[in-house]
Amino acid sequence: MANTPQAKKRIRRNAVRTEINGVRVSRIRTFLKAVESAIASGKKDDAAKALKAAQPELARGVARGVMHKNTVSRKMSRLSKRVAAL
Q: pLDDT averaged over the chain?
A: 95
Global pTM reads: 0.85
Instruction: Give mean pLDDT, residues 76-83.
Output: 96
Whichever domain contains 66, its CATH number is: 1.20.58.110
Range of the structural domain that residue 33 is part of: 5-85
Q: How far apart are CA 79 and CA 53, in angstroms?
A: 12
* Domain count along the chain: 1
Q: How far is CA 58 from the centre of its chain?
A: 5
pLDDT in tens, 40-66: 999 999 999 999 999 999 999 999 999
HEC states along 17-73? HHHHHHHHHHHHHHHHHHHHHHHHHCCHHHHHHHHHHHHHHHHHHHHHCCCCHHHHH
Read off the pLDDT of residues 13-27 as tens digits, 9 standing for 90 and up: 999 999 999 999 999
